[in-house]
Amino acid sequence: MRRFGLIGKNISYSFSPGHFREKFLRMGLADCRYDIFDLGEIGEFPALLSRYPDLEGLNVTIPYKEAVIPYLQELDPTAAAIGAVNTIRVSPGGLKGFNTDVVGFRDSLRPLLRGSDTAALILGTGGASKAVAYALGQLGIPLRFVSRDPGPGQLSYEALDAAMLREFPVIINCTPLGTYPAVSGAPAIPYAAITPAHLLYDLIYNPEQTKFLRKGAQQGARTKNGLEMLQLQAEASWELWSP
């Protein structure tokens, strides 16, 4: 049996098992399976590896994209530069971390961009936001982070006003606010200042239209959820597991 899976916390809703089950059926890979491993804390990770010695690869999601790094023997240069891992390849030589969120986000965002999309706000500062920032750098789009507890060079939500939003036509939600089942949540930005010139991108894919996207669409903004990003990063993960 070739075993793959996903580690995270409170992830029973995840898209990944269904995606890979369909993929394995389509490819005739009857000896492959993909499981969810819901860890109460990252300290449970070594025991998981011992329990499933047939593991060949893992995806990593909230809240462990950064916390898993000390348990790995090697990092791909992109993952090292980002400081977050969402894919692990297991081999006799140990565990190597990669970040395929970069590919997923970049390649799903690029077709939506207009010449006027000259700067971006990233809402949140967790592991996923770091991959988004790296991808925006590859696309040549300047950015600012927005945080409830802003560090140097970051913005607070209270600092966002209509003038600020005019400067940043691309707004990307990298927080978990609005994720099922807590669908009433949304980042605290001045939605009345959103215009048809804006592009709102939400890494969340469940629900299909979050409150963040819905409020943006009501103002005429272009919107995109995180489903295609997830599909693209999953395919990039599989390429790493099956060279």
One domain for residues 113 and 197: yes
Q: Where residue 65 sits, what CATH number does that domain have?
A: 3.40.50.10860
**How does pLDDT run along the chain (243 residues), one tens digit per residue?**
899 999 999 888 888 999 999 999 999 999 999 999 999 999 999 999 999 999 999 999 989 999 999 999 999 999 999 999 999 999 999 999 999 999 999 999 999 999 999 999 999 998 889 999 999 999 999 999 999 999 999 999 999 999 999 999 999 999 999 998 899 999 999 999 999 999 999 999 999 999 999 999 999 999 999 999 999 999 999 999 996
Cβ(98)–Cβ(85) below 8 Å:
yes
Give me the CATH number covering residue 179. Answer: 3.40.50.720
Whole-number Å distance between alpha carbons of 36 and 5: 6
Q: Does residue 237 belong to any structural domain of this protein?
A: no
Q: How far apart are CA 208 and CA 87, in angstroms?
A: 24
Give the integer Cα–Cα distance in Å for 155 and 122: 10
Residue 154 lies in domain = 103-228
Select which of 23, 65, 215, 224 is catalytic. 65
d(CA 135, CA 11): 25
Residue 108: inside a domain? yes
Residues 112 and 164 in one domain: yes
Contact between 51 and 37 under an 8 Å Cβ cutoff? The reply is no
Q: Are strands 2-8 and 55-60 parallel, antiparallel or unpaired?
A: parallel
Domain count, the chain: 2
**Is 65 part of the annotated catalytic residue set?**
yes
User: CB–CB of 42/85 below 8 Å?
Assistant: no
On whether residue 184 sits in a domain, the answer given is yes
Residue 19 to residues 10, 35, 172, 234, Cα–Cα distance (Å): 18, 11, 24, 8
Residue 242 within any structural domain of the chain:
no
Give yes or no: residues 67 and 146 share one domain.
Answer: no
pLDDT at 62: 85
Tokens of 180: 């099922």
d(CA 88, CA 95): 6
Model pLDDT, residue 243:
65
What is the residue type of 1? M
